[in-house]
Amino acid sequence: MTSPQSPPPSPPRDKSPIGRSLGKPDQGWPRWVVWAGLGLLVAMLVLPGLLRSDSGQEITYSQLLQRVRDGQVEEVQINTQSYRITGSTETGSFSTDGPPELPESDLQVLRENDVAVEYRTPQPNFFLSFLPFLLPVLLLVGFFVWMQRRAQGQMGSVMQIGRSKAKTYSSEKPGTTFADIAGYEGVKQEVTEVIDFLKNPSRFAAIGARIPKGVLLVGPPGTGKTLIARAVAGEAGVPFLSVTGSDFMEMFVGVGASRVRDLFQSARKMGRAIIFVDEIDSIGRKRGAGLGGGHDEREQTLNQMLSEMDGFEATEGIVMMAATNRPDILDPALLRPGRFDRQVVVPLPEAEERLAILRVHTKDKRIDADVDLLTVAKGTPGMSGADLANLVNEAALFAVRRGSESVHMVDFESARDRVIMGQRRESMALSDQEKEAVAYHEGGHAVCAAVLPNADPLHKVTILPTGMALGVTQQLPEERHLYRQDYIEDSLVVRLGGRIAEELVYGMVSTGANNDLMGATELTRKMVREWGMSERIGPMAWGSGGQVFLGEDLMTRSEYSDETARVIDEEVERILREQEERCRQTLRSYRAGLDAVAGALLEQETLDGAEVRRLIDQAQSGAQAPAPQPVAVVGE
């Protein structure tokens, strides 16, 4: 996408530290110099032997004496080291190997035939003779040179440790635009003003409008906050400086503040730019708070960032963006007007947005015609964009394992089961008694989910060991933003269905309901403590104390008296026992359906929701129609 106004040119590379590796030591001599030196050394060692002047006809020593007697030889040269004898005749030169010392008789023959004898001692190669002494010196000198260069490189790294580690994405090639982001139309509309300001800042300055200096993207992990920030840079056509909060922290004191200063100086040199800090909560925690730990270096880095954000004007052309999934621990000074004065919530995608995200991630996949992405989108509530990308990749992997040339709907079903329920444990073998108990346990969940009017639709039930469970009953929650009390009560009945089914069939319970009981107790406690669904407690609520998006309790403190805590425990017990009795009545009424579902599970191991409902209707039609049971309502 081409912006109507070209961005200012970027500074020369040798002046900007952004995007380059810091403290890179000198590379030393070029590589060709090293190879040339090695070649010269080999030539000096090998060529003298190759250029040895041993030429002429090779004859034996006896043939030499015979030629001397015949008067064909005038002179000979004898090598005192190799005892090589060379000479020449009218027909050409010759050479032969002689004895270490010529016998007196042979010398007499040479004198009688007037043959001049010359003894030669070859001079040794100066380089070869000096090499044993030169090599240790060269190694020692090379070691000291290497140590010096290494020390200089480390010193350069120390001197540049305060430089920013931000990565720069050039405005010439914006790799990401809003076309690459599916859904999130409301978020796009929020950041459109930032794009308009970066494209045409004079339009805002003319009427005195002030664009927000900082935009904080808040949302759960995996919702694409970093991708949205890069898309803003791509749409605006300006340089994009990306850095994480942990890049500012170092073992040396003052490094974080120095890197913050260098980051903003580099952005000012670019004219108009976007500074994006990912996971800003790592340096933006509340100062002086015991929660999360106080750290002087972190506080100094935060103070420098706050002063830098106050230092540039609103029309300067620098916009700071940040992302976090823990906004509740950020320092209030970061969130005040004039700094991060606009918070953009990036929520989990809705069904239509999930469909658009799935279409983006399936563009480069070979998808079969039987794949209905709308069904997949409706069956994945609560999944983020990263989860959906992982789901598509898992489906492609399942298709490869099956030997298929394209991804089918069955691959998406398998991938969803893999992501939600876990990997199937093929190696676990249950005994017949355990298998029957698991069948009735999962049958109890399935029957309650199928017959209760406010429960989530039943999707699949299996007795195959999956993940940490021996069997799984899977429901597909509908898109909800408000949870009614009757829906929560039906959810409790479904959770207790497995335990009550074992009790009705075997007269006792097992440890298989451990996870069900923990989930039901936690859900009931939220009904009483947070949602005001208890008449004895009344319109009072106490938060869980957990983080907004992580949902984890960092600390536990008492916000009510011991008497109130006792009342809360009594109310939690009362609601659970009421829903347990309601579950028991439901399964007694649909006992024929429970037996039919358990028998089908023992035979087929896996049933879908439609098959479970068909089995229940068929079994109940032959049995006595269940009488309507009173529904216990909390607080009445």
pLDDT for 302-339, tens place per residue?
777 777 777 555 446 677 888 888 877 787 878 877 77
Q: Break the chain into its structural domains and give their ranges.
A: 31-47+126-159, 53-120, 167-345, 351-420, 432-622
Q: Kindly report the backbone phi and psi dihedral angles of residue 93, in degrees, each rounded to the nearest multiple of 5, phi listed first.
A: -90, 165
pLDDT digits (tens, 9 = 90+) for 146-182: 777 766 555 444 444 444 445 555 544 456 777 777 7
Closest CA to 316 of 409, 453, 213, 242: 213
Separation in Å, CA 427 to CA 398, 430, 464, 466: 19, 10, 11, 11
Q: Kindly report the backbone phi and psi dihedral angles of residue 216, in degrees, each rounded to the nearest multiple of 5, phi listed first.
A: -105, 120
Q: Regarding the domain delimited by 351-420, which CATH topology (the fold level of the hierarchy) does it fall under?
A: Helicase, Ruva Protein; domain 3 (1.10.8)
Instruction: Kindly report the CATH class assigned to 53-120.
Output: alpha beta
- pLDDT (mean) for 43-61: 63
Q: Pick the more confident residue, 575 or 238.
A: 575
Q: With the C-alpha atoms ordered 142, 145, 151, 153, is the resulting torsion angle positive or negative?
A: negative
Distance from C-alpha of 232 to C-alpha of 188, rounded to nearest angstrom? 9
- pLDDT (mean) for 505-531: 91
- pLDDT (mean) for 245-272: 67
Burial class (CB in 10 A: 0-12, 13-18, 19+), 196: middle
Closest CA to 276 of 325, 242, 311: 242
Residues 6+ apart with CB under 8 A from 390: 419
Distance from C-alpha of 167 to C-alpha of 500, rounded to nearest angstrom? 59
Q: Pick the more confident residue, 282 or 602.
A: 602
In this prediction, residue 538 has a pLDDT band, given cuts at 50, 70 and 90, of confident
DSSP H or E stretch at residue 216: strand 214-218
Tell me what the pLDDT averaged over the chain comes to.
76
Report the CATH number of the 167-345 domain: 3.40.50.300
3-state SS string for 62-103: HHHHHHHHCCCCCEEEEECCCCEEEEECCCCEEEEECCCCCC
Under DSSP, the state recorded for 535 is T
Instruction: Kindly report the CATH class assigned to 432-622.
Output: mainly alpha
DSSP β-ladder status, 116-120 and 75-79: parallel
Query: Which of 73-77, 163-167, 186-190 has the lowest average pLDDT?
Result: 163-167
Distance from C-alpha of 30 to C-alpha of 183, rounded to nearest angstrom? 53
Of 190, 442, 489, 502, catalytic: 442
Structure tokens at 622: 């032959």
In this prediction, residue 518 has a pLDDT band, given cuts at 50, 70 and 90, of very high
Known active-site residue 489: no
pLDDT digits (tens, 9 = 90+) for 192-232: 777 777 777 777 778 877 777 788 888 888 888 878 877 87
Contact present, 324 and 153 (Cβ < 8 Å): no
Distance from C-alpha of 563 to C-alpha of 58, rounded to nearest angstrom? 120
